[in-house]
Amino acid sequence: MPTPFMHLALANEVLGDRRLPPDAQRLLLQEQGPFLLGNTAPDVQTVSGQSRVETHFYTLPRTADTPAHEALLARYPELGRPDLLPASQAAFVAGYIAHLAVDEIWLDCIFLPHFKDGVEPWAERAFQHNVLRTWMDRQDLHRLDSALTAAVLKQARPHGWLPFVSDRALQDWRDWLVSQLKPGRRAQTAEVFAERMGVSAAEMEAVVDSPQQMAERVFRRVPESILRAFREASYNESIVRITHYLQFCSEQEIAQ
């Protein structure tokens, strides 16, 4: 699914969209740190040791048609009343819901139709999928103001925001992201994917760095026009989900 930096780039763009209701936009701008952290937080299992289904609320392959955010709120209904939550927690959960939407769009529009099946062995298709995510991760990092994003993320102070993830795990996840955004540092995306597949990061980056190899091994499978359509769909659905979640909130109603 999309990388944390892909989610961060999308979240930064969503913050400025005028389609967000004024009160919702004001809340998210005031609580940017929690909102940005929420947009990455379902991937906390990287440091918490949880299973993916525990933080994403759907299985791979799917065993139910319920959207992930509905499964989340059905299991933890206390998160479904943002007007009763502290402002920081409401913004965080709004980001969390947006992340789940984007992951589901990736699953349905990119992974399932273009990588799940094929004539190549699964190891090659998985490699191509992770190379694509690493390539897109690089594009999105260029769209981020890394220093500013790191400073904003540091402002997120988890305090009982999720009943199924500890504050310590969220803090460790935040700090790991921030460490990769510092001047002179680089994202560890290739290293993470390479370790999972049992290949070297250098092997993955050699493909990412080669326009010819990207064309032959990745873009022939999923054209860049499909990726642009994914971005647009993700952007629009993020706004819809965030707006729906925060629709009952006003500046006065959000708990202080």
Nearest C-alpha neighbor of 46 from the set 12, 112, 1, 76: 1
Q: What is the pLDDT of residues 175-197, one digit of tens each?
A: 999 999 988 888 899 999 999 99
Q: Does the N-terminal peptide bond of residue 82 adopt cis geometry, omega within 30 degrees of 0?
A: no
Indicate the domain borders of the chain: 4-117+145-182+230-245
Contact between 17 and 151 (Cβ < 8 Å): no
Taking the C-alpha atoms of residue 181 and residue 184, their distance in angstroms, rounded to an integer, is 8
255: β partners: 86
Give every CB contact of residue 19 below 8 A, 6+ residues apart in sequence: 239, 243
What are the tens digits of pLDDT across the range 192-233?
999 999 999 999 999 999 999 999 999 999 999 999 999 999
Residue linked to tokens 């509905």: 70
Separation CA 83–CA 245 (nearest Å): 10
Average pLDDT over residues 3-30: 96
pLDDT band at 60 (very low <50, low <70, confident <90, very high): confident
